Amino acid sequence: MTAPFVADALGPRGRRRVLVSSVLAGAVIVLVFGLALNRLADKGQLSDAVWAPLRQWSVQKFLLLGLWVTVKTAVAAMVTAVVVGVLLALGRLSRNGPVRWLSGAYVEVFRAMPLILLMYFVALALPKYSIHPSPFQGVVLALTIYNGAVLGEIFRAGILSLDRGQSEAASALGMTYWQSMLRIIVPQAARRMIPAIVSQLVTLLKDTSLGTVILLDELLTKSRDTGTFFHNRLQVYTVAALLYIAVNFTLSRVARRLEVRQRRKYKAGAITVTGVEDLAVLVAHGEAAVA
Amino acid sequence: MKIVLDNLPAFLRATRTTAELTALSFLVAMVIGTVVAGFRVSPIPPLRWVGTLYVELIRNTPLLVLMFLFFFGFPQIGIKYSTFTSAIIVLSAYTGTFVAETVRAGINTVATGQAEAARSLGLTFSQLLGLVILPQAFRAVVAPLGSVLIALIKNSALASVIAATDLTFLSVQLSNSTSRPVAVYLGAAFFYMALALPTGWAVGALERRVAVKR
Amino acid sequence: MLAVFGLVAVGCSSSNDSGTVKSGSGTTVTTSGKPTFAAGTTMANLQAKGKITVGVKYDQPGFGQRNPTTSQIEGFDVEIAKLMAVGIFGGTVADAANKITFTEAQSANREPFIQNGTVDMVIATYTINDTRKQIVDFAGPYFVTHQDIMVKATDTSIKSVNDLNGKKVCSVTGSTSATNVKAKAPTVDLTLFGTYSDCAAAMSDGRVVAVTTDAPILAGLVQASSGQFKLVKAPFSDEPYGIGMKKGDDAFRSFLNDRLDAIYKSGEWASAFSRTLGAIGLDTPTPPPVDRYTSGAVTSTTGASSTTSTTR
């Protein structure tokens, strides 16, 4: 996607200039790439010694098992976070003052907290109260607390984005507040939210890597151990990054497709959000609202 | 809470480190982000490809993986910096992608007529971008950039894994040596809020001042 | 037999069947059958549960390192853990190993995990010192390492710590190694990097002439250098590694100390050493005497600990 203002056709001089610049830019890029490769070769980073371990099936299996833990954790946390998020969104839209206030406070506090601090808290402070979560439970809990707050805001935006006529029609039919919420509003909002949930999965998947500090045996932990063992951290972390990118790219694609399908089906903008930073990006696009 | 008060100087020092990490990384990220956004809307295809590649690769990699890759992996090719410098490089490279996407969205909000008018006045692409589009784009995205900044405050906590002595690093050490994790982590949470909330207010005030009224 | 029985009974308040040989017996591989312990002791509880959780390093060559090709954790600390487990569960080393759940011990979680019972013991290059003794107890030491010096293989000028005066020497930020060397060689010109592999790189390109820290870490670097570096073998300062455990559990501590004495005598300790640290070029030393200190009262501390173990 290019900005609208470059879309208009160029004149002959403009076209020539773009062509010359393109060739120059291309040459610079190739040069930089070549220098980087040269540096890698120079330092022996392309040699068989550092890459051979990664060709062993046992090592690949070790890393892929880590990826499986990563995905499993992200999915589990997503399910629980969606539940917490829906409850928080309903809480913030509730007509009951204290409920509204509590949900609001929860969202504000936990959205402002670094996730890694929550992880440490769950793993090192909860045992003080005789709660001993396993690394998996600990990471899912921390991710749920945090993402519940983020999703709560997204869901609230989704509910508010529905046409007022929907709830008005529901009350005209004699439905109570809760009936209209559960039977009319939430199902429609939820459908619109599906792409957002898939996108949020990308952020969640990235965030599972923080589990390494509380001993979750996921992709990053396994990569670290592999890199330490074979003295090839550069190579192993690069492979790990590529694995994350591959999974996330696929997820983003799925989200995009769902979104397009939804736009066609409901003729309404679905809300796409991936994490707080992306939420910001989308606010700029005018597609989501952050309180 | 006594534990936090007893170690107030340490907490304040660590808060300062977190603030410095955030501020410096944000400055660099703004530069990276603006340049990359410029690349992504550029009429020159190779620059667009580089911009897209940068954003897609960095944004889809967990920040912690980038941190480990840079700090523990890059020394293998002779690229090594101190903890603090490394943290700033990684944080700004990561945050730069979000800045780029935000600025690009801002550019898209600027009416096409503006670009057409500028072109009919004979402005080159870089003049058009620098003098006409970007100033308006930035005004439109103050709030989202503020969210990126607040996310960066939180993300700076990851620098603790490469031993940057920030709030999170201090909390882990203190909770360890005093065995009072609850009080220590609540204290750290308080200091993070003390950084994030005023930042949010300042962003809100700035947004109201520069808002584009149409 | 009676003497052995007496030692055990005093040591860990256990009652012993006549057929069970448990410690100080010189048996190399195993004890036959299950040892018995007084009800309520940590040993009895662990035995009843049939499993023990041990915190070890996952990234420290020679001591505790996870091998990605086998997913097993390997090293001296791991072997010590297995030998301790044999004392609790009886049977062969392999049987006992099956009952161990290994957990990664990181500097951030060692003390909390011991205190809140997430792990039953920590065997993870864990240096015994007074600050730590205020919140956890230590059995052992089971190994005392020394700070040593690594130089280029061609270097003949550096033979002891005194020779480091006026020389460019590398160590790691925040480590006790840096403090130690400064005390022994006051005019040393210290360069502090983030990791020891950085130090090794700085030495190969000539920016420093020596690297100093705990001998086993240097041994790992020497091995990785393929003949480029060598160990001076002029040790100074002691770093006693102990088995970290819950403070105040004196019966368990005595049991572990007895068990260490037993594996010293049986030769299992030496064999574990030569199989692990020996493989990265360390000579098997005589085992250090265990320190059966009297555990003090739990004193509360405030403020961050200033001691940082050189081995993380």
How far C41 CA lies from chain B's nearest CA (Å)?
Answer: 25
Examine the pLDDT at C41 and tell me if it is beyond 60.
yes
**Between these two residues, C235 and A282, which has the higher pLDDT value?**
C235
Nearest to C127 by CA among C241, C255, C2: C241
What ipTM did this prediction achieve?
A: 0.92
DSSP, collapsed to helix, strand or coil, labels residue A289 as: coil
pLDDT tens digits along B190-208: 999 999 999 999 999 998 8
pLDDT for B72 beyond 90: no
- The more confidently predicted of residues A136 and B77 is A136
Shortest Cα distance, chain A CAs vs residue C58, angstroms: 7
Q: Which residues in C lie closer than 8 A to residue B68 (C-beta atoms)? A: none
Say if the Cβ atoms of A132 and C106 lie within 8 Å: no
Q: Do A215 and C116 touch (CB under 8 A)?
A: no
Instruction: Say if the Cβ atoms of A25 and B144 lie within 8 Å.
Output: no
C135 in contact with chain B, both atoms CB, cutoff 8 A: yes
Of C60, C101, C118, C280, which to mutate for an interface test with A (greatest number of A Cβ within 10 Å)? C118
Tell whether B113 is within 8 A of chain A (Cβ): no
C65 to A226: CB separation less than 8 angstroms, yes or no? no
**10 Å Cβ neighbour count for A126?**
18
Q: Which helix (H) or strand (E) holds C210?
A: strand C210-214
- The sheet that has C64-67: what strands, in order across it? C59-60, C64-67, C72-74
Contacts of C131 in chain B (CB under 8 A): 177
Distance from CA of A181 to the nearest CA of B (A): 30
Length of chain C as a residue count:
312
Judged by a CB distance cut-off of 8 A, whether residue C116 touches chain A is yes
Flag whether residue C65 sits within 8 Å of chain A, measured between CB atoms.
yes
pLDDT more than 90, % of chain C: 46
Other beta carbons within 10 Å of A44:
12
Region B73-89: what's the mean pLDDT? 88
Residue of B nearest to C192 (CA): B82
- C59 has a chain A CB within 8 A of its CB: yes
Least Cα separation, residue C201 to chain B (angstroms): 9
Q: Is the CB of residue C226 less than 8 Å away from at least one CB of chain A?
A: no
Tell whether B47 lies on the interface with A, counting CB pairs under 8 A.
yes
Per-residue burial over A264-276, b = 16 or more CB atoms within 10 Å of its CB, e = otherwise:
eeeeeebbbbbbb
Is any Cβ of chain A less than 8 angstroms from the Cβ of B182?
A: yes
Instruction: Check B82 against C115: CB less than 8 A apart.
Output: no
Chains contacting B (3 or more CB pairs within 8 Å): A, C
Q: Helices in A12-56 by DSSP H: which ranges?
A: 12-42, 48-51
Q: A167 phi and psi, to 5 degrees?
A: -75, -30
Residue A115 confidence (pLDDT) = 95
Q: Do A114 and B147 touch (CB under 8 A)?
A: no
Mean pLDDT lowest for which of A22-31, C56-65, C89-98? Answer: C56-65
Kindly tell me if the per-residue pLDDT of A287 is higher than 50: no
Q: Does residue C100 register a pLDDT over 90?
A: yes
Choose the closest CB to B77 out of A29, A45, A275. Answer: A45
Closest chain A residue to the Cα of B102, Cα to Cα: A281
Crossing angle of helices A57-92 and A135-161, rounded to 10°: 40
For the stretch B24-41, pLDDT in tens is: 999 999 999 999 999 999
pLDDT at C296: 67
Show the beta-strand stretches assigned E in A46-94.
none
Chain C: touching chains (3 or more CB pairs < 8 Å): A, B
**Most confident residue range from A113-127, B172-186, C26-40:** A113-127
pLDDT of residue B164: 85
Task: State the count of interchain CB pairs (< 8 A) between A and C.
Answer: 50
Residue of B17, B60, B141 to mutate when probing chain A, most A C-beta within 10 A: B60
Residue from the list B102, B146, B154 with its beta carbon closest to the beta carbon of A281? B102
Chain A window 193-212: which residues touch B at a Cβ cutoff of 8 Å? 202, 206-210, 212
Among the residues of chain B, which ranges form H helices?
Answer: 2-6, 8-40, 45-59, 63-68, 83-109, 112-120, 125-127, 134-140, 142-155, 167-178, 181-210
CA B184 to chain centre: 26
Chain C residues close to A232, C-beta within 8 Å:
none
pLDDT of res. A267: 56
- Give the whole-angstrom CA distance, residue B67 versus residue B20: 18
> Which residues from chain A sit within 8 angstroms of residue B44, using beta carbons?
18, 21-22, 25
> Cβ-count burial of A165 within 10 angstroms (0-12 exposed, 13-18 middle, 19+ buried)?
exposed
**Which residue does chain A place closest to C201, by CA atoms?**
A43
Q: Which of B3, B80, B173 sits opposite C198 (nearest CB)?
A: B80
Q: What is the mean pLDDT of residues C70-98?
A: 93
The string of pLDDT tens digits covering residues A82-91 is 999 989 999 9
Q: C66: which chain A residues are within 8 Å (Cβ-Cβ)?
A: 225, 229
The pairing of beta strand C189-193 with beta strand C168-172: parallel
Q: Which of A42, A43, A57, A62 to mutate to test the interface with C (most CBs of C within 10 A)?
A: A62
Distance from CA of C119 to the nearest CA of A (A): 11
Average per-residue pLDDT for chain C: 81
Polymer length in residues for chain B: 214
Within 8 A by CB and 6+ apart from B49, the residues are none
Say which amino acid occupies C185.
A
Helix (H) or strand (E) holding C66: strand C64-67
Calculate mean pLDDT across residues B172-190: 88
Q: What is the pLDDT of residues A228-253, one digit of tens each?
A: 888 888 999 999 999 999 999 998 88
Q: How far apart are CA B163 and CA B166, in angstroms?
A: 8
Question: Per residue in B4-63, pLDDT tens?
Answer: 899 999 999 999 999 999 999 999 999 999 999 999 998 899 999 999 999 999 999 999
Does C312 contact chain B (CB < 8 Å)? no
How far apart CA B170 and CA B17 sit, in angstroms, is: 11
Of the candidates C112, C197, C301, which has its C-beta nearest B75's C-beta?
A: C197
User: Quick check: C276 and C80 in contact, CB under 8 A?
Assistant: no
User: Which residues in chain B are closer than 8 Å to C201, comparing Cβ atoms?
Assistant: 75, 78, 80
C112–A127: do the CB atoms touch at under 8 Å?
yes
Which chain B residues are Cβ-neighbours of A206 within 8 angstroms?
Answer: 60-63
Average pLDDT for chain A = 84
Higher pLDDT, A196 or B187: B187
Q: What's the CA gap between C62 and C216, in Å, rounded?
A: 8
Q: What percent of chain A has pLDDT over 70?
A: 88
Residue of chain A whose Cα is closest to the Cα of C113: A124
Q: Are C123 and C80 in contact (CB under 8 A)?
A: yes
Contact B91, B152 (CB under 8 A): yes
CB–CB contact A114 B154 (8 Å): yes
* Residue in B with minimal Cα distance to C303: B7
CB-based contact, C72 to chain B, within 8 Å = no
Contact B173 C201 (CB under 8 A): no
Q: Does B151 touch chain A (CB under 8 A)?
A: yes
Q: What pLDDT is attached to residue C8?
A: 40
Cα nearest neighbour of A56 on chain C:
C69
Which tens digits make up the pLDDT trace of A2-12? 444 555 667 78
